[in-house]
Each structure stands twice: as structure tokens, then as C-alpha cells.
Amino acid sequence: MLRPIDEFFLEHDEDTNSCLQFLREHILSFDENITEAWKYQLPFYYYKKKPFCYFWIHKKYKQPYIGIENGGLLDHPQLLRENRVKMKILLVDQTKDIDLEAIDTILKDSLSLHKDSPAK
């Protein structure tokens, strides 16, 4: 029987599934302290047990996105705030090549916020 987190990835069309699976592997390999969990009915990623980012599908654009915890503190032209207070999102067009340079820059900047924040 599949775990709910694995079912999430398989319930989408082939392009979206491939995109999400690639992002999943990329984020998990980005830093050894990043872990994956099923929270709030979506795949969530933690850095040293602190919320880091998550995946979801944008209702309006029908594209996967990476929701960045504390993204409101980041300044990157591809991050969208929309109606969010703390989070920003990075839309990922599943029909085009993934912009790894932008993703890595955003992940690196987000990790630096986590590394600079005091431990609880």
C-alpha cells in the first residue's frame, strides 16, 4: 500500500508527476538536513525539523509550485506573494525545462534564513 505522500505524486498527469518527482529528488539532495513529511495533506520539507518548503498545484494556473516558508523575507523576481503573509511561491511550468538556477538560488537563500535563525 502506498503512503499518502507517494499517492500525491501519482495522482497528477504525467508531465506534472515528472516535474514534482524531479523537484522532490532535487530538494532532498540539496542538503543532507532536509527531510520529507506528509503534513496538511501535502508534501512538506523540513530543514533540521523546521518547516522549509512544500509542494502544491496552483488552482488558477494549474501548475505545480514550491511554497517557500518565510519566503516573504526573500527578494527574488520569480517568487509570488499573492495573498500570503509569510510565504511566497515559485511556479514551475511542468511543460518547460525547469529553471534550476532560480530554484537553487531561492533554496540557498531560504536555507541561509534558517541557518541564521536562532534554534528553539
Q: What is the pTM of this model?
A: 0.92
Mean pLDDT of 26-40: 97
Nearest to 48 by CA among 60, 33, 28, 63: 33
Nearest to 19 by CA among 65, 60, 68, 54: 65
Nearest to 42 by CA among 18, 15, 24: 24
Q: For residue 72, what is its C-alpha cell?
A: 516573504
- 73-88 pLDDT, tens digit per residue, is 999 999 999 998 899 9
Report d(CA 93, CA 63) in Å as an integer: 6
pLDDT, averaged across the chain = 94
Phi and psi dihedrals of 102, rounded to 5?
-65, -45
- Residue 71 belongs to domain spanning: 4-116
Report the CATH number that the domain containing residue 33 is assigned in CATH: 3.90.1150.200
pLDDT above 60 (res 31): yes
- 95-120 pLDDT, tens digit per residue, is 999 999 999 999 999 999 887 765 55
User: Would you say 62 and 74 are in contact if contact means Cβ atoms under 8 Å apart?
Assistant: no
Please give the tally of structural domains in the chain.
1
